[in-house]
Chains A and B, each alone.
Chain A
């Protein structure tokens, strides 16, 4: 079924009786060409691009819960291309371009809104770093505008410009940055992959990976054994557990990141605003809720909820930046499990086991990466060679020390990102 404005009006006038489920609920086949473990954003986009770009449709996505039950439905939906390092820069730039064509590609409204992202800075040194970042973004072909204090005030008059500890010196505006509706991204990719024949199998937990003579032959699941020629592990926060089924240890630590949303308010925050000094960022959803968050809780965790000290810290930072936020009531808070890599950059690569692929290390920034990650992972699965935009995301870069991509410049070590 193709969605269109006409269809919406027609259904509205005829009692909305003609809508069909967006995807089938197939019984797993005994064998597939490709099995994707994990029905999050990255697994679903990989399935879509495998089918669309490479014509590989004998594919199953195995999801232990329901589609979109992981981080894809838990993030704060920021989409941006403001990376500096070669390797990351071209990848996120490619992703943003895919975002810009995504709704037409999927025939699905993902509510991608390029409302502009403003990163604030509070010292001369920080400004210089943002000038450099902005130049890198422009060199990559993306957009960046340096705002001085008055420039920031024109966009964000509600900030506290009298803060003495972190005075606002200016901000870097990324006009093409913004947000999208996270669930819709999962659903749109799922529907598009299903329409091309991909089997989306929910409530199907992978419990083992079958390997014979150094080659993958299939997986064991809560719904029985399924054979496959290729298996891609795309399970974000659960990467270490799934890789352990193939006897692998990954350079990944799982951490909890929290987020918060207030009651619905009238439009008040038009951009995405980030306040790095206070570890705080915010945007307003189309429903009106203020969506905001901060840093990791900073201890390894698989609980999809955090602890109170970070809640307090985020609220304090919000009050420091925009005191008006104190009037809003927080409705909900939640946490998601992040797959943190030592250098803060991702991994899309073959494993040492023939036919086994790994996609992980998205840290707290994997939502914006969903299109380009699926694109590159599908390319790798189909052709056996990395896509040019993801050629630097090697798994062995930590062991060899070559090609480390420490975007924040804090050191390539767990616990620093």
Chain B
């Protein structure tokens, strides 16, 4: 598996740490209530197919959202976390 760091280009998967579902960047408000927090922390779509997840590029410290396929392991695109609309 090769992943494109938005800053460094296409690199080996070894250089990246997986940081979970991209849901993580949509943090609920502090007082959003237990249901919202359960949705955020525990419950998952867990799709078989297209997914969006977070990858941290260890050498340069970049956080990227990857659009990839959990069945084929193809990585379709990566975007800097700061450029993802929130």
Complex CA distance for A250 and B14, rounded to whole angstroms: 29
Of A240, A249, A309, which contacts B14 at CB under 8 A? A309
**Additional A-B contacts beyond A254-B70, A300-B53, A399-B35 (20; CB < 8 A):** A238-B48, A240-B45, A249-B39, A249-B43, A249-B45, A251-B44, A253-B20, A298-B18, A299-B18, A301-B70, A301-B73, A302-B48, A302-B71, A307-B73, A398-B38, A398-B41, A398-B42, A398-B43, A413-B41, A414-B42
**Is B20 in contact with A250, judged by CB distance below 8 angstroms?**
no
Which residue of chain B has its CB nearest to the CB of A401?
B34
B10: interface (CB < 8 Å): no
Of B12, B18, B42, B46, which contacts A342 at CB under 8 A? B42
State which residues 361-417 of A face B: CB under 8 Å: 398-400, 413-415
A22: interface (CB < 8 Å): no
Shortest Cβ distance from residue A37 to the other chain B in the assembled complex, whole angstroms:
16
Complex CA distance for A342 and B72, rounded to whole angstroms: 25
Complex CA distance for A415 and B21, rounded to whole angstroms: 9
Give residues in A with beta carbon < 8 Å to B: 238, 240-241, 249-254, 298-303, 307, 309, 342, 398-400, 413-415
Complex CA distance for A300 and B66, rounded to whole angstroms: 12
B27: interface (CB < 8 Å): no
Contact indicator per residue, chain B 36-79, by CB within 8 Å of chain A (1) or not (0): 00110111111111010100000000000000001111000000
- State how many residues of chain B have any CB contact under 8 Å with chain A: 28
Complex CA distance for A298 and B54, rounded to whole angstroms: 12
Give residues in B with beta carbon < 8 Å to A: 1, 12-14, 17-21, 34-35, 38-39, 41-49, 51, 53, 70-73
**Is A254 in contact with B46, judged by CB distance below 8 angstroms?**
yes
Q: Is the interface of A mostly helix, strand, loop or mixed?
A: mixed
Q: A303-B71, A307-B13, A309-B13 are in contact. Are A249 and B44 (CB under 8 A)?
A: yes
Shortest Cβ distance from residue B50 to the other chain A in the assembled complex, whole angstroms:
11
**Is B18 in contact with A251, judged by CB distance below 8 angstroms?**
no
Complex CA distance for A354 and B46, rounded to whole angstroms: 24
Point out the residues of chain B lying under 8 angstroms from A400, CB to CB.
34
Point out the residues of chain B lying under 8 angstroms from A298, CB to CB.
17-18
Point out the residues of chain A lying under 8 angstroms from B35, CB to CB.
399
